[in-house]
Chains A and B, each alone.
Chain A
Amino acid sequence: MSARPQESATARLSRLLTMVPWLLAHQGVDIDTAAAQFGITHEQLDADLSLLFVCGTPGHLPDDLIEADWEDGRIFLGNADAISRPLRFTIDEALTLMVGLRALAPGASGAHQDAVNSALAKLETATGVAGGVASRVTVALPQGPESGVLSTVEHAIKDRRRIHLRYLSARDEVTDRDVDPIRLVTLDAHWYLEGWCHRAEAVRLFRVDRIESIAVLDLDGTPPAAALAQDPRTSAFVSSSDHQAVVMTVTPGARWVAEYYPAESVVDHPDGSRTITVRAADLGWVKRLAWRLGGELCVVSPPSLGAAIAAEADTALRAYAVPAPSVPPAGEARP
């Protein structure tokens, strides 16, 4: 979890103004569901409800205050008529949904496309001005690759069949794997297959353009229930506590690394740099990332990995007749 700065009063107010109508529409909801809906802890929700409880209409006599009861683990709210409707969308809120819908429209099939367009029209009416602004941001989702891989995968997902892949891995090796496909995902310009990999015994993402060949096996391909339940938004460079911890600092320009690879912890520093901890089974991608980012990323731990990054970069530079540095790479024995 990233270390967040102290929440501002306006951020909290804005959550409360949505929470009240949400709770009114979900009377008796259990505390865990409500906390998950707003992405807050049990304690924060408790504090929010305690705060609502002392607010109300002018006079602030008992009859004027918001009624909140959550003692038996279920939340009931009342006497909050003034704020019983959610506030209009902010520009960013309208923008994210409308740009998302516009992006979906071209790729959607007939009936689905109608749904996208009618939802968009309704949102435009409801958001008014914000809708016009949102139209100036556009996203072109990637078209499906020409190969038959996509349709094969789609059928395998639908029929719950296991597939066999010859796959060019991120380690630059061609590997053979049996995979129970879960879903297709596009991230920016690329298509990915998310599936339960029997070789890794874990959920993995496979870039569709790196699949060299695919065969549908005559085997049941239902992924384990736990794999299906995973949040589709988490990347499949899945962190596992069995793997080695790698601690790195990145400059402000490379802060995205923390969002691109699932980080175990993220600490933001006042100068905009970040310290990120990831768990990795294969340290190769960390090295490649360090070379690609040319000094914007510094591996702090394990020291042997930092030393390997320096030593291999140095070897690579010799091909260009670049002299060795005056300071020997960390971890290398000094003469």
Chain B
Amino acid sequence: MTVQPSVAAKTERLLNLVIALLSTRMPLTKARIRAAVPQYQATASIEAFDRMFERDKDELRELGIPLVVDVVDPLFDDDQGYRIDRREYALPEIEFAPDEVTALALAGQIWSHASLAASANAALTKLAASGVELDDQSIVGAQPRVSTTEPVFEPVKAAMLARRTITFDYRKSDGTTSTRRIQPWGMTQWRGRWYVTGWDLDRQAERVFRLSRVADKVTAVGRAAAFDPPADHEPRVLVRETESVPIDQPPAILRVRRGAANLLRRRARTIGEVDDEWSLLDVDYRDEQDLAAEVASYGVDVVVEAPDAVKTAVITLLTAARDRHTSGALSNAREEAP
């Protein structure tokens, strides 16, 4: 709570600065800005004010507020000043028909996860502030929702928007991991999974990466605006081509307890009954890790007979889950809990 007053004071200072710069036609020199904002008047020295103003200026620009630098008087062009162009600042007036408003509300509700849902809400509120009346009760039919649960979604999206190169460790479907360096051109969700598409700098080719196989640490390297994605780049087409290749590996063989794992049974190519307790299933799969996670989730009810790679992955998952919940680990967790 001790930080509260300074946040309020800083908000007040920034708001007064925005209002001052929006209210002026002529650019304001730093001296006039200092006189115009009470919190700047209170600074101890010109230097202290300068430092504070420089930081504030950067923060306003990060919010997307278009701060322009201009000469105050054409006759003395060494005298620089600042202002905010109202037309550049304001959301243009847009009129929407009622059915367009319904579509907008539906589009804004698609995002089911915190950060994007907040941005969508902020956008819809700006429209409401601009006089567009949103009535989300009018929504009928199916409500689509999209999640962005992959931990690397945000850093990849930020790098893609900033057009910065990223590096990360990537696990292929055969389990091997390698460090990749790509220019992220686009992102797409297809069949419930997020992908990033782009130019692989080491392989000098277009590549597709599934976000759930990207290791947690994504590092942006080099400057922003480092590349321009080709205008004809279609992430979805690239993903569909890459992910639609026929499955060319033999199916996994799973031993499944009678009456259990009904979703796996529905997908099975063949089901044979072993005895009163067990069935044997042939199940096609693309990704060893995905299948292993599904098998592990059934606990004692499903056992992998083949291939070894899936078997090993299941053993790794179950061992980790067991060890995390054995008495030593548990008492540590209790101590960490508040």
Contacts and interface: CB of A to CB of B under 8 A. Distances in A.
Interface of A: 6-10, 12-14, 16-19, 21-22, 24-25, 37-39, 47, 51-52, 54-58, 60, 82-83, 85-101, 103-104, 107-108, 111-112, 115-116, 118-119, 122-123, 125-126, 133, 136-142, 154, 168, 172, 174, 183-191, 210, 232-233, 247, 249, 252-253, 255-256, 259-260, 267, 275, 287-300, 303, 306-307, 309-310, 312-317, 319-320, 322, 325, 327-331
A172 B106 CA distance: 33
B334 interface: yes
B330 A300 contact: yes
Interface stretch (B69-77, B112-120, B168-176, B202-210): B112-120
Contacts of A312: 299-300
Given A115-B100, A259-B114, A58 B36 contact: yes
B55 to A, nearest CB: 11
B298 interface: yes
Contacts of A91: 64, 161
A320 B303 contact: yes
A139 B315 CA distance: 35
A140 B216 contact: no
A279 to B, nearest CB: 18
Nearest to A154: B141
B324 interface: yes
Contacts of B112: 187, 233, 259
Interface string B1-18: 001100110111011101
Contact of B149 (A17, A260, A330): A260
Nearest to B332: A298
Interface of B: 3-4, 7-8, 10-12, 14-16, 18-20, 22-23, 35-38, 59, 62-65, 86, 88-92, 94, 96-97, 99-104, 106-117, 119-126, 128-131, 139-147, 149-151, 157, 160-161, 185-193, 216, 229, 233, 235-236, 260-263, 293-294, 296-301, 303-304, 311, 314-330, 333-334, 336-338
8 contacts: A22-B128, A25-B129, A89-B91, A118-B100, A183-B140, A188-B192, A298-B330, A300-B330
A208 B162 CA distance: 39
Please list the 10 inter-chain residue pairs (A to B) with the smallest Cβ-Cβ separation, ordered nearest first: A189-B192, A100-B107, A295-B320, A294-B317, A256-B149, A188-B192, A85-B90, A58-B36, A93-B123, A22-B129
A263 to B, nearest CB: 12
A261 to B, nearest CB: 11
A89 B124 CA distance: 10
A328 B142 CA distance: 49
Nearest to A23: B129
Given A97-B108, A255-B151, A317 B128 contact: no
A139 B154 CA distance: 16
A83 B106 contact: no
B34 to A, nearest CB: 11
B185 A136 contact: yes
B99 A85 contact: no
Contact of A295 (B89, B121, B297, B324): B324
A265 to B, nearest CB: 11
Contacts of B14: 9-10, 13
B91 A86 contact: yes
Given A13-B14, A25-B128, A255-B151, A316 B122 contact: no
